[in-house]
């Protein structure tokens, strides 16, 4: 086991940021912490990287206790915090050299590990970090978090604010790092990224809603789910919400995801109702639940 978390709680004054959180993460696993802003993800990262003490509970990272063995943990983990963590006035190369030096290593010594990522920013090695694009900053921050060859990598919302192409590239890089045996704990508010993890923990208000593989989590969705579209989306949402039999109504891309309370739900009856309420071009078709649907359903309970 690479990370063991047992009953960790943390409060800030009256705010309960983490409430009795437990999870186990295997060696070499790509594990996602999925939850909205304020769910407690950063607090958990800070505890696991020994920057913050929990109020209750215990955890080990790479076999080291987060309190007793904090020095060893700092040596063996890489942490890419949510906000840009580099020195804006240092160049790309100077940033990387700085991180290598504080860990007592050199760029050459561990170049193999970062090569894939670093070659993409190497042409800009003399540019100041502050002048890089979002995607390039993220690649540099990941290179810096990896330069001392960590056993465990913590990535706090690494793709927030990054364009979709760079996000995709970033996840491909993570998969390649995972193949090298590094355990990766990554947080994201993007539900589509959750599907790329081996296992995910859905987290809200400091509590775990569910832990499983992404495939198993969507299978747990309790009801048939329908994509509904019409000529006026705003009116459609309003009328679905006032329909006597609705269970849930949730905007999803260009459609509305709808579930009904009845077991014998008939889409024709719903179509008739929407027509009498003035909607046109109505289409209703069954669809598959996504992680986002499951999250919304669990969050309601």
Q: Which of 8, 32, 41, 61 binds ligand ATP (CB under 6 A)?
A: 41
For the CA atoms of 176, 182, 187, 190, the dihedral, rounded to the nearest 10 degrees, stands at 20
* Letter string b/e over residues 57-85, b meaning 16 or more CB atoms within 10 A of that residue's CB: bebbbbebebeebbeebeebbbbbbeebb
Q: Measured between alpha carbons, how far is residue 264 from residues 13, 28, 249, 275 in Å?
A: 49, 45, 18, 21
Please tell me whether residue 14 binds ligand ATP under the rule CB under 6 A. no
Please tell me whether residue 49 binds ligand ATP under the rule CB under 6 A. no
Binding segment for ligand ATP among 9-17, 63-71, 162-170, 261-269 (CB under 6 A)? 9-17
Please tell me whether residue 39 binds ligand ATP under the rule CB under 6 A. yes
Report the half-sphere exposure of 131 (CA within 13 A, side-chain side).
9
Strands 3-12 and 246-252, by their bridges, are unpaired
For tokens 């800009």, the residue is 124
Q: Which of 3, 17, 162, 197 binds ligand ATP (CB under 6 A)?
A: 17
Structural contact between residues 33 and 44, judged by C-beta atoms closer than 8 angstroms = yes
- Show the binding pattern over residues 150-169: x = contacts ligand ATP (CB under 6 A), - = does not: -------x------------
Kindly state the number of chain residues that form the binding site for ligand ATP, as judged by CB under 6 A.
12
Q: Which of 2, 32, 42, 117 binds ligand ATP (CB under 6 A)?
A: 42
Q: Which of 15, 51, 67, 102 binds ligand ATP (CB under 6 A)?
A: 15
**Which residues would be at the binding site for ligand ATP (CB under 6 A)?**
12, 15, 17, 35, 37-43, 157
């Amino acid at each position: 086991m690479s990370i063991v978390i047992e009953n960790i709680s943390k409060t800030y004054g009256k705010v309960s940021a983490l409430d009795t959180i437990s999870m186990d993460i295997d060696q070499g696993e790509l594990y996602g912490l999925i939850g909205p802003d304020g769910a407690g993800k950063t607090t958990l990262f800070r505890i696991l990287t020994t920057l913050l003490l929990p109020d209750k509970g215990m955890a080990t990272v790479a076999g080291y206790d987060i309190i007793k063995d904090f020095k060893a943990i700092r040596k063996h983990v890489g942490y890419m915090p949510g906000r840009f963590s580099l020195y804006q006035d240092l160049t790309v190369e100077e940033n990387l050299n700085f991180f290598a030096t504080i860990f007592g290593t050199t760029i050459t010594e561990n170049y193999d590990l970062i090569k894939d990522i670093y070659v993409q920013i190497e042409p800009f090695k003399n540019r100041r970090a502050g002048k890089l694009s979002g995607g390039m900053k993220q690649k540099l921050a990941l290179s810096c978090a990896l330069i001392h060859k960590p056993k465990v990598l913590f990535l706090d919302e690494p793709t927030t604010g990054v364009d979709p192409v760079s996000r995709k590239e970033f996840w491909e890089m993570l998969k390649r790092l995972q193949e090298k045996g590094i355990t990766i704990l990554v947080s994201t508010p993007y539900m589509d990224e959750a599907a790329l993890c081996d296992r995910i923990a859905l987290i809200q208000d400091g509590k775990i809603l569910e832990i499983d593989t992404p495939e198993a989590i969507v299978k747990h969705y309790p009801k048939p789910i329908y994509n509904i579209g019409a000529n006026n989306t705003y009116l459609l949402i309003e009328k679905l919400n006032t329909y006597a039999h609705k269970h849930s109504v949730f905007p999803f891309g260009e459609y509305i995801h709808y579930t009904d309370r009845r077991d014998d739900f008939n889409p024709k009856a719903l179509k008739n109702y929407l027509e009498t309420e003035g909607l046109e071009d109505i289409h209703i078709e069954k669809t598959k639940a996504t992680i986002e649907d499951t999250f919304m359903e669990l969050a309601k309970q």
